[in-house]
Amino acid sequence: MKHLSSQISKVLAGLLLAGFFFLFMVVDGLLKSNLQDQIIYDLRIEAEMADLYLSTDSVKLQEDVARLALLTESRFTVMDETGRVVAESDPAHRPEMLDNHLNRPEIQGALRGLDGYGYAFRYSHTLNEELVYVAFKSSKSRFVRIAKKQSFVNSIVWKVRWIVIVIALLTVAALLVLMPRLTGRVTKGLTEIVRASEEIRSGNYDREIVVKEQNEIGDLASTLNLMSSKLKEDIQQLRQMQDVRKDFVANASHELKTPITSIRGYLETLLDGAYHDEEVSKKFLERTMSNVVRLESIVNDMLDLSMLESRDHGLSLRYFDIGTMLKSLTSDYQEAARQKGLDLKLTSSIPPEFTLMADPYQVEKALFNLIDNAVKYTDSGSVTVSASLVEQSLHIVVADTGNGIPPEDQHRIFERFYRVDKGRSRQLGGSGLGLSIVKHVMEIHQGEVRLQSEIGKGSRFTLIFPAKT
Ligand SMILES: Nc1ncnc2c1ncn2[C@@H]1O[C@H](COP(=O)(O)OP(=O)(O)OP(=O)(O)O)[C@@H](O)[C@H]1O
Ligand SMILES: [Mg+2]
């Protein structure tokens, strides 16, 4: 893996080197031109002073230029007004051997320049070196020219160049050494995020990313933390759902097994010869029949539940007259209630024109289950069904004066196959699916079911259908 810190270091080192190069070029140029200006200025004074010193006598003049050249480590040339060389300090060149100097740029400069000076930088074939020439037009009808080697300018320039180069290299080296430590602080958070993400990927959803920085990296860390806790939640939910499913299969098989075992017993007994006895045969066949009816009702409940849980719930919504539905349901149960000596009443305060937007088949199933339970689990007293509008939402209450439900069971009775008193419920033909169907029906209608119950006093189930906007 490439490290971010080394990538940052490389970019910074590159930028720094580019910066130094630019600085180098600027300093170099400035230094050179300043030094040259200074030299020309110095040489001008030297030339003027030499003119004062130099004799006008031609023999003496040759001696003078030789002496001055020795003293100043420069080359002196004196020309007359026509450019003819009259004295030359360089012993290798006799003045009369030299050609006319009038067209040399420094002489032309001295002729044309207002202050009588001219200069030129030029390669001297005589000395095989870069020279700087400064000429002065004297009032003594002559030109005094002084020439100096440029190499000493170069040596100063090179000294400065070397200083800049060394500083640049030292800075870049220091940067490369120190950079990992500096960028380390920036990349520490990222490294932590990478490490934690790998742990989370391998299943450790409790791993929290600890980044204290308050910048984008910190934001990233807290977003990732949120994501992983969300993931953890989802996984837990998924596992829970798997558990519920497993339980359901186990419970369902168990519930189905009981009537099947009974049926098998009755049929075996009949086949073993009991069918010869008409009375016994009838009794066994009746019991077989009631077990088949029970199987049918369990399977129907399971089908209802699985449909309610399917994605589209198989709902068919429409407006219907809930008041009439309640009336017909309660009258269906009057006979069963009367047989148990129960008083089954219906009270309604909803206006007669009221219609409910819901799936009538599902709502009827839910109401049927509540009334069925109330009658089943109440031994004496009454069962009251009442309907009312509370702030435009429909409340349907099924209240009984039965045994009541223990507080610890109250939230569990809505689970599939859960029964408070298994023996009694089964004896009454229940499988524990009724209330879970009720709960599902209410959930898919965006409504809810509430329960109030007290042992010995009775239970009160309330269905709430939200107001349709
Ligand atoms: N009105 C009630 N009074 C007392 N206990 C109740 C009442 N309604 C339900 N219960 C308890 O809640 C349990 C679950 O009820 P649910 O309707 O889901 O199943 P069930 O009546 O046993 O069987 P099923 O409705 O499938 O025929 C019941 O077994 C019973 O113990
Ligand atoms: Mg029931």
| DSSP SS3 for 23 | helix
User: What six digits make up the tokens of 401?
Assistant: 């004066």
Cβ atoms of 362 and 416 closer than 8 Å? no
User: What six digits make up the tokens of 288?
Assistant: 């077989």
Q: Which of 419, 433, 455 to mutate to test the pocket of ligand 1 (most atoms within 8 A of CB)?
A: 419
Looking at the CA of 460, name the nearest ligand: 1
| Crossing angle of helices 151-201 and 4-53, rounded to 10° | 170
- Nearest 5°: the CA angle 362, 368, 372 is 150
Q: Which CATH entry fits the domain spanning 217-293: 1.10.287.130, 3.30.1330.40, 3.30.70.260, 3.60.15.10? A: 1.10.287.130
Q: Is the CB of 252 under 6 A from ligand 1?
A: no
Q: Which of 294, 373, 379, 442 to mutate to test the pocket of ligand 1 (most atoms within 8 A of CB)?
A: 373
Q: Whose CA is nearest to atom 10 of ligand 1?
A: 373
Phi-psi region of 417 (alpha: psi -120 to 50; beta: other; left: phi over 0): left
Could you identify the atom of ligand 1 that is nearest to the CA of residue 402? 3
pLDDT at 249: 87
For 154-212, the DSSP string reads HHHHHHHHHHHHHHHHHHHHHHHHHHHHHHHHHHHHHHHHHHHHHHHHTT-TTPPP---
Q: Which of 301, 305, 370, 377 to mutate to test the pocket of ligand 1 (most atoms within 8 A of CB)?
A: 377
Could you identify the atom of ligand 1 that is nearest to the CA of residue 421? 31
User: What six digits make up the tokens of 378?
Assistant: 């109440």
Q: Are strands 75-80 and 85-88 parallel, antiparallel or unpaired?
A: antiparallel
* Numbers of helices and strands, H then E, in the chain: 11, 12
pLDDT at 378: 94
Residues in the chain, total: 469
CATH number for the region 316-465 comes to 3.30.565.10
Cα gap 397→174, rounded to integer Å: 83
pLDDT at 28: 86
For 407-461, the DSSP string reads HHHHTTTTSTT--SSHHHHHHTT--S-HHHHHHHHHHHTT-EEEEEEETTTEEEE
What are the pLDDT digits (tens) for 361-393? 999 999 999 999 999 999 999 999 999 999 999
pLDDT at 278: 92
Could you identify the atom of ligand 1 that is nearest to the CA of residue 400? 1
Cβ atoms of 143 and 78 closer than 8 Å? yes
Phi-psi region of 404 (alpha: psi -120 to 50; beta: other; left: phi over 0): left
| Crossing angle of helices 322-339 and 360-376, rounded to 10° | 20
pLDDT at 425: 67
Q: Is the CB of 196 under 6 A from ligand 1?
A: no
Q: Which CATH superfamily is domain 4-155 in?
A: PAS domain (3.30.450.20)
Cα gap 88→78, rounded to integer Å: 7
Cα gap 265→271, rounded to integer Å: 10
Residues of the chain short of pLDDT 50, as ranges, are none
pLDDT at 175: 84
Other beta carbons within 10 angstroms of residue 69's beta carbon come to: 20
Residue-range domain boundaries for the chain:
4-155, 217-293, 316-465
pLDDT at 373: 94
Please list, in sequence order, all residues whose beta carbon lies within 8 angstroms of the beta carbon of residue 224, skipping any fewer than 6 positions away.
193, 196, 197, 200, 209
Residue type, 328: S
Q: Whose CA is nearest to atom 27 of ligand 1?
A: 430
Cβ atoms of 24 and 165 closer than 8 Å? yes
Q: Is the CB of 425 under 6 A from ligand 1?
A: yes
Could you identify the atom of ligand 1 that is nearest to the CA of residue 436? 18
Cα gap 307→244, rounded to integer Å: 17
Q: Are strands 342-348 and 381-390 parallel, antiparallel or unpaired?
A: parallel
Q: Is the CB of 150 under 6 A from ligand 1?
A: no
407 CA distance to ligand 2 centroid (A)? Answer: 18
